[in-house]
Structure 1
Amino acid sequence: MSERGQTLPLIEALERLRWPEALEAYSGLTGQPLLAIDLRDGAPRAGAEAIEQLRRVLSEVPCPTIGLSGQNLDDSARALLASFDVIVTDENEAAAVVDRVRARPQAAAALVQLLRLGEVLDVHEGLIAESLTYSMLQSGPEFAGWLASRERRPAAAVAQEDAVLAERDGRVLRLTLNRPERRNAFSVSMRDRLAELLAAAVADDSVEEIVLCGSGPAFCSGGDLDEFGTLPDPATAHLVRSTRNVARLLAACGPRVTAEVHGACVGAGVELAAFARRVLARGDATFELPEVGMGLVPGAGGTVSIPRRIGRQRTAYMALTGEPIDVSTALRWGLVDRVVD
């Protein structure tokens, strides 16, 4: 039997996890905040009932599940691939996930549970579930610890009208995120102005194409960290997100939206762009989901938009590792549609 905390061979996992207690053994509350199973040696004598039981455990266990895959998997291993939260192909990839999960077990568990649930929710339902999860974590110790570790700077005053520039050219509406000095950090003023412009576009059939882009060196460097934790309480924060929701409006406009991205696309910069029908990326674009490291989950619609482009497992890998991916990887995965000069 493998030692506590190590990857379980598949044949051992089938035996150990067939009891109901398995759902309590793997949790951030027990000191074992993840379940990792090595699929490479398979379990050639495993019956269909044992495989189905393990599949149920993987869908219900309250922690991230990691499958270590490889070439020439047997039938038992292949039958389980889609049930894991993350699939990795070597120990280095696994370590990147494990390190973040151990550092932020609550946020990691909430993320994978949200992504599992999202597979059966529509866009509106998924956005509600994401916001509720985000608000729950805002009141948790992991986010509080991250917030306390930061030295907050005074928020830069930007007129709402200037935070997003709108230019109409015939039937094309170009919306430009316009805080270049802050790498287009997604602030309250930017959110409110973008929501206002998108709401008008939803109601205007004469707008046939919406182009979303950013000024300066980056498309969007994510939420404005100096505004994090400034609302009075998580319940109010959820109501704000439900009322003034850029993700919902982008989804409504989605067939008409082209996102032109470059430089850093972090957090909201990935999440919002992924709602577009087309994402065109310059060669310098990178994509990153850092929220789990802050004790949160993506909160700008990313648990809805990104899985619809690259699938649940790759979304979980991006969010759990927090590591940026380059434009070639994003193109291969389907996060962007074309690389442009």
Structure 2
Amino acid sequence: MTITGPGTHVARPLPATDLAAGHPLGLDSSGRPHHPVLLIDLDSAASLPEPAVRAAARAAADALPLTVGLARTAPPPRLRPLTQALTFTLVAGHAPLPAECVVAGDLDAARDRVLAAAAHAPQACLTLNRVLRQTPLLDVRSGLAAEAAAYSMLLGGAEFRRWLEARGPARPADPAAGRVRLDRRDATLAITLARPHRRNAMDALMREALIEALEVALLDDTVERVELTGAGPGFCSGGDLDEFGSARDHVAAYLVRLERHAGHLIHLLRERVHARLHGACYGAGVEMPLFARHVTATPDAVLALPEIAMGLIPGAGGTVSVPARAGRWRTAWMAVTGARLDAATALEWGLIDAIETMRR
């Protein structure tokens, strides 16, 4: 199937050797890229000599578009320099694959899903692609700074403005009290996100309450264990959509993200934190808890990174915490497509450490 139009770049997958030719983004006068994706045929690359594989890998790492490998069968190990340099690789079938590959039962449908996402929000997709090539190489604080800078930039972009217009007027905020519950049991501090009527959507008040709770554990050495849970049907449905667009000063928003970052505090406490996920775990509801060393989920847990559809990238630490567990390639797939992962897939990818049969 061929997809054409603004934001797509498809006729047929390119041979890997064509990567070195250079492929511009096709920016129009408004800076909108018309060629944000390069599809790479990996089946035809299986017989390439090693120097050609390495040359293609260097070109893929330097390319500005998303570079997406397509393979009907699992790429042979000799192609790993290339697959590791791509944004990610889609492989037909259901066999276990290395972290740079994503199983696609229907390869054409998976490809079209990527192309549709890139057509909808090409600027956000391209920004994500470059950020994810940086953050795994940085320490946590520097990775969060790179993410925050890119996120704050996208707040001023046309794709996010379009999403805001489609969302419509924000609903009034609910009462301020009771966003987070604390319960001290001997050496354990239980922290519960407690806004179940809004699926524990993370607004500024909840973020501050969570930060204060985590600071208690950070300052009190008698807290040997922190249990992080969510009340109601889901752990956390992500950022409160009604607060999106409220930041008028994007530089200030960048600094707030750096200084008031719950995920960074969880990282500092990581050996003591056990995050227990259930139900909807979207956006911040995935990104923050994955900084913990111990993450479990119930069978009904669903993990997703939905920000690209809003013209943004993960902004609660997801470009740092998710690739630390699943690799940058599967993180890119999750974020670009907004794919919803069940608990079994999350366990297979290393996003969680175990599946709990029941909530505690």
Give the structure-2-normalised TM-score: 0.88
1:128-277 paired onto structure 2 within 5 Å: 128-160=145-177, 162-277=178-293
- 3-state DSSP of counterpart to 1:176: strand
SS of match in other structure, 1:6: coil
Query: CA contact under 8 A between 1:7 and 1:35: conserved in structure 2?
Result: no
Cα distance in structure 2, aligned partners of 1:91 and 1:280: 33
Question: Residue 87 in 1 paired to residue 92 in 2?
Answer: no
Q: Secondary structure at the match of 1:118?
A: helix
Shift of 1:176: 0.3
Kindly state the Cα deviation for residue 116 of structure 1 after the two structures are TM-superposed.
Answer: 0.4
SS at match of 2:40: strand
Taking the aligned partners of 2:230 and 2:320, their CA distance within structure 1 comes to 22
Distance 1:290 1:41 in 2: 33
Alignment match of 1:335 (pick from 339, 348, 351): 351
**Structure 1 pair 72–24 and aligned structure 2 pair: CA distance change class (3 A):** closer
Task: Give the equivalent residue in structure 1 for 2:41.
Answer: 38
Structure 2 CA distance for partners of 1:84 and 1:7, relative to 1, 3 Å: farther
- Counterpart in 1 of 2:100? none
The CA deviation at 1:203 is 1.7
Shift in CA distance, 47/326, structure 1 to aligned 2, threshold 3 Å:
closer
- Whether the 8 Å CA contact 1:42–1:74 is kept in 2: the answer is no
User: What letter is aligned with 1:24?
Assistant: P
How many percent of aligned residue pairs carry the same amino acid? 41
CA–CA separation in structure 2 for the residues paired with 1:45 and 1:213: 50
* Structure 1 position 284 matched with structure 2 position 284: no
How many residues align? The count is 333
Q: Give the RMSD, CA atoms, in angstroms.
A: 1.9
Structure 2, unmatched stretches of 5+, are 92-106
- Tell me if 1:56 matches 2:72: no
Does the 8 Å contact 1:41/1:73 carry over to 2?
no
3-state DSSP of counterpart to 1:149: helix
3-state secondary structure, aligned to 1:88: strand
Three-state SS of the structure 2 residue aligned to 1:213 is: strand
Distance 1:5 1:302, change over 3 A: same
The one-letter amino acid of 2:61's match is S
Task: Provide, for residues 170-214 of structure 1, a one-character-per-residue CA deviation record: whole Å limited to 9, x for no partner.
Answer: 110000001000000001000001111112211211111100000
Whether the 8 Å contact between 2:263 and 2:289 is mirrored in structure 1 is: no
Matched residue type, 2:167: R
Which residue type is aligned with residue 63 of structure 1?
P
- 2:99 is matched with which residue? none
Counterpart-to-counterpart distance in 2, 1:182 and 1:172:
27
Distance in structure 2 (CA, Å) of the matches to 1:262 and 1:280: 9
Aligned to 1:115: 132
- Letter of the 1:339 partner, please give it: I
Tell me the alpha carbon deviations over residues 205-237 of structure 1, each in whole angstroms, 9 at most, x when there is no partner.
111110000001110000000001112221111
Aligned residues of 1:23 and 1:60 also touching (Cα < 8 A): no
Look up the match of 2:24. Answer: 24
Distance 1:47 1:327, change over 3 A: closer
**1:271 deviation in Å?**
0.5
Q: What's the CA shift for 1:99? A: 1.0
Q: Distance in 2 between matches of 1:293 and 1:338?
A: 29
Preserved CA contact (<8 Å) 2:24 2:35? no
* 2:191 match: secondary structure: strand
- Unpaired segments of 5 or more residues in structure 1? none
Please tell me the residue identity of whatever aligns with 1:71.
T
Matched letter for residue 244 of structure 1: R
1:96 maps to which of 99, 109, 113: 113
Deviations 1:42-85, CA, capped at 9 Å, x for gaps: 2524450x333321221122221101134364566343111111
1:220–1:306 Cα change, 3 Å: same
SS in structure 2 of the partner of residue 258 of structure 1: strand
Cα distance in 2 between the residues matched to 1:54 and 1:99:
26
Matched letter for residue 131 of structure 1 = A
Distance 1:268-1:73 versus aligned 2 partners, 3 A rule? closer
Q: In the superposition, relative to structure 1, how do residues 63 and 72 fare at CA in structure 2: closer, same or farther (>3 Å)?
A: closer
More displaced stretch, 125-134 vs 148-157: 148-157
Equivalent pair of 2:143/2:320 in contact (CA under 8 Å): yes
CA distance in 2, matches of 1:17, 1:324: 31
